[in-house]
Structure 1
Amino acid sequence: MTRALIVVDVQESFRARPLWETISDPKIAHQVDRLVRLAREAGDLVVWVLHSEPGSGDVFDPALGHVRLMEGLERRNTEPLIHKTSHNSFTTTNLQQILTEHGIHDLIVCGIRTEQCVETTARVASDLGYQVTFVTDATATNPIAHPDSPAHRSIAELLSDPLTLGAEEIIRRTEYALAGRFVTIATVGQLEAAAYRSSGTMTGS
């Protein structure tokens, strides 16, 4: 085992926010589950990461009960579950220790949000020397308001503002920033096809 799947923040906290209705992929859990099944079949390590903000009183406060895996995802007892309080999955956790103990060199990264915790995790992982595959269609994000926009606007106001950066544009820009510098970009389908080809080769040998 030299590869691990890192599932970043695919948690009910996001579905508990009104902004969820703007998410780029409401079926993100299904896409992630496809990667989880691939990883398990290959004998790869699966690491689950949840974002936690104790005492915040919002959806990321564990006391409210939303800091749990999103419906449709199931963790096995042998799979590490870690809680982070930073944007990346390394700084406030023992993730690197876990990966080192398992002899991991290659990472597949997915989760929420594309340009925030998932991208930051991928960048840090690359700087730490891991070979990182960023599975864009197993990530999701929301539109982002312009920095000068008024706070606490409605979703309708957010979406109607021409200065709002749309989710698809955020995803596209994230790929441009990461590809060839920090990560290899892939889709779930591409990884499934590669696994199928590998399995066929092994079967025929």
Structure 2
Amino acid sequence: MSRTALIVIDVQESFRIRPNWQAVNHPDIAERVDRLVRAARDKGDLVIWVLHTEPGTGGAFDPVNGQVRLIEGLEPLPSEPVITKTSHNAFTTTNLQQLLTQHGVTELVISGIRTEQCCETTTRVASDFGYDVVFVTEATATTPLPHWTMPADATLEEILADPRTLSPEVVTERTEYALAGRFATIRTLDELTGVPVPS
């Protein structure tokens, strides 16, 4: 029997302490993901939580700083695996594929932060591994994407003032264009939870 797993990627406090979080497209990402988690549990799907770490960097993703933890309000059940990664995709530096094989999973539902980075990269790798992938754009979040020539220490104001900066809406649209029909099926929160998004 085939099984579905919900993969929750990097919905962690690390992002919320960065200045660019002020410009995130879905500040309520934890609530959006929680809707998916509850629906997955009700269906008996596996829920796997992924956290991103960058040990030794001293930054927001360095575990020693205490931000590599789920955003408040999200709580894994004791039976739900929590894995940590150091690569953009959730497979390369973890035992994710082994976990999925053990549980007979053939379909993945992807949610998390950031839409075009860890979520998209995980989706592409999962598709190449042969999984059917559902990408829930509404349950992913991202921030304005600066041009690659922008200095790494640019302020949010500088990033937003640069006409080359891509808005979260444009980034999200490009991700959907790249993934749909090739690497994933795009689905809405309503479709997967059966509950309308509160307006």
Partner of 1:171: 172
Whether 2:54 is the aligned partner of 1:49: answer no
Partners of 1:21 and 1:157 lie apart in 2 by 14
Partner of 1:141: 142
Instruction: Quote the RMSD (CA, aligned, Å).
Output: 1.1
Partner of 2:21: 20
Matched residue SS, 2:105: coil
Partner of 1:122: 123
Aligned residues: 194
Partner of 1:161: 162
Partners of 1:151 and 1:118 lie apart in 2 by 22
Partners of 1:149 and 1:60 lie apart in 2 by 21
Matched residue SS, 1:109: strand
Whether 2:192 is the aligned partner of 1:191: answer yes
Structure having the larger proportion of residues in helix: 1
Give 1:184 deviation, angstroms: 0.2
Matched residue SS, 2:135: strand
Partners of 1:7 and 1:150 lie apart in 2 by 30
The aligned runs of 1:78-157 (5 Å cut-off) are 78-157=79-158
Whether 2:6 is the aligned partner of 1:5: answer yes
Q: 2:68 is aligned with what amino acid?
A: V
Give 1:129 deviation, angstroms: 0.4
Using the aligned pairs only, state the percent identity. 61
Q: 1:188 is aligned with what amino acid?
A: L
Please, which runs of 5 or more residues in structure 2 have no aligned partner? none
Whether 2:74 is the aligned partner of 1:73: answer yes
Partners of 2:111 and 2:129 lie apart in 1 by 18
Give 1:193 deviation, angstroms: 2.7
Partners of 2:150 and 2:101 lie apart in 1 by 43
Please, which runs of 5 or more residues in structure 1 have no aligned partner? 195-205
Give 1:16 deviation, angstroms: 1.1
Partners of 1:146 and 1:193 lie apart in 2 by 38
Q: 1:33 is aligned with what amino acid?
A: D
Partner of 2:181: 180
